[in-house]
Amino acid sequence: MSRNKVYIKTWGCQMNTYDSTKLSHYINKELNFAIVTIAKHANIFILNTCSIREKAQEKLFHQLGRWKIFKQNNPNIIICVGGCVAAQEGEKIFKRASYVDIIFGPQTIHRLPKMIQDVYNFKKKLIDISFPKTEKFNYLPVIKTTQHTSYVTIIEGCNKYCTYCIVPFTRGKEISRPYKDILLEIQQLIIQGIKEIHLLGQNVNSYKYIDIDNNIITFDKLLIMISNIKGIYRIRYTTSNPQDFTQGLINVYGKIPQLVNFLHLPVQSGSEKILSLMKRRYSLTQYKNIIYQLKKIRPNIHISSDFIVGFPGETQEDFNQTIQLILDMDIDMSYSFIYSARPGTIASKMVDNVSLQEKKRRLYILQDYIQQQTKKFSSYMLHSIQTVLVEGISKHNQFFFGKTENNRIVFFKSTYNCVGKIVKVYINNFYLYTLYATFVSMH
Ligand code: 5AD
Ligand code: SF4
């Protein structure tokens, strides 16, 4: 019998990308199935879905419709739906797409290999969208993302219940991973040559782990422990929340040189009224204060943020305040979205009084401002020396490429083999997020 081949399609956030990488690892290791990148070569299909924004269901059934055709030609094909839409819709997916075999949630991905085997053995449909407490952490394989950087999960789920957000319903309550496991995983990664660790979680800065001696390990303490691991060169994290941005966390920016000069700190809106309707639980003064304090410690820190435009009740004046905040706080980059009502959320019951056309207009304006900001900050980097972690060589023009601390891609030429290395370069040209440079030296 030929080897089973699995095709995985992933939508959504870094967490989903990370989960899919883990999924391929489990499937490969536990079942010895091959992972393929061309759908028509597969006999097992997995869709890792995202429900954070609009049209998640339509997108799901559209995709499933395409895979249904494969199954009509080969009834032995297995189709699995995972991720946040699976958690949200559950059994309803079977009702609308009877050809789906397995539904699993973000917290049960490690159970999928067994579920696939059971479908083969017992020829029945299976669903498991539960939130088993810390079980998922026990199955975490060590995963390298590139030659030099790796994601490491430190916390899962969210307790915040911002009024627009589906995540607490689909990913469950916050669970912090035991800090010793985190440190061990990072040590293993460093031995493998990883230089940059990217800590992941819906709210990394609400990390809190109480050990058997009743010591409370908070995110700032965890960062200090991580920075003490020999060989760690850069530390990044996403996503953090202004509500939990403690003084301790601000202070570590003065103590940990490996923490990058870049922070993604989603604010969502520049209007106090909208923040309150969103139940974000911080004021603009608090948000600004975090940034002012960080800039005192790290004058070159770059700030990125998430914004939602067209939240119910958002007036032109509220929107203008968001633009003003972008300018006042020197926001460098953003992920910005049109508000979309998510089923079961508090905001979905509010009157959505901003027309789609107006939402689109505001998004366009906001993104234009952000682009100007990005350009401005890239231009400030001109003629400076930057440190780059080199990811590879571009096939197109044979330039080396890598990232600066503040998430810009840099291209440069060198006669040395720089891949996987840390180098110093001199910036001599830029285009939005992309910089061109001359090689200076190995770090
Ligand atoms: N509509 C639009 N954007 C949303 N986000 C979360 N929920 C919604 C929604 N219902 C955005 C927020 C969050 C990012 C991950 O997705 O900006 O920070
Ligand atoms: Fe969603 Fe708010 Fe939790 Fe972020 S903090 S995942 S926006 S509920």
Report the predicted TM-score, pTM, of the whole model to 2 decimal places.
0.91
> How many Å apart are CA 261 and CA 405, to the nearest integer?
6
> In this structure, which ligand is nearest to the CA of 240?
2
Q: What is the pLDDT of residue 403?
A: 95
pLDDT at 195 over 70: yes
User: Would the CB of 241 count as within 6 Å of ligand 2?
Assistant: yes
Buried/exposed 320-330: b ≥16 CB within 10 Å, e otherwise: ebbbebbeebe
DSSP codes of every residue in 95-133: HH-TT--EEE-TT-GGGHHHHHHHHHHH---EEE----T
266 lines ligand 1 (CB under 6 A): yes
337 lines ligand 1 (CB under 6 A): yes
Task: For ligand 1, say whether the CB of 308 is within 6 Å of any of its atoms.
Answer: yes
pLDDT for the residue 433: 87
Q: How confident is the model at residue 53 (pLDDT cuts 50, 70, 90)?
A: confident
CA nearest neighbour of 321 among 263, 257, 273: 273
Distance of alpha carbon 83 from alpha carbon 104, whole angstroms: 7
Mutate to test the pocket of ligand 1, among 308, 311, 345, 346 (most ligand atoms within 8 A of CB): 308
pLDDT category at 76 given cuts 50, 70, 90 is very high
339 lines ligand 1 (CB under 6 A): yes
CB of residue 340 inside a 6 A radius of ligand 1: yes
Phi, psi of 423 (to 5 degrees): -130, 160
pLDDT-derived band at 146, boundaries 50, 70, 90: low
Q: What is the pLDDT of residue 363?
A: 98
* pLDDT for position 302: 97
Span from the CA of 349 to the centroid of ligand 2 (angstroms): 18
- 112-144 pLDDT tens trace: 999 999 999 988 999 999 887 666 676 666 665
Please say if the pLDDT value at position 163 is more than 80: yes
Q: In the numeric block, which tokens belong to residue 27?
A: 């499937």
Q: How confident is the model at residue 52 (pLDDT cuts 50, 70, 90)?
A: confident
Residue 302: closest CA among 264, 336, 248, 245: 264
Q: What is the DSSP letter of 13?
A: S
pLDDT category of residue 414 using cuts at 50, 70 and 90: very high
52 lines ligand 1 (CB under 6 A): yes
As a whole number, the mean pLDDT across the chain is 93
- For every residue of 151-182, DSSP letters joined together read EEE-EE------TT--HHHHH-S-EEPPHHHH
Probe target for ligand 2 pocket from 51, 162, 200, 279, with the most ligand atoms within 8 Å of CB: 162
Give the CA-trace dihedral at 243, 248, 253, 254, to 10 degrees. 150
53 alpha carbon, closest ligand: 1
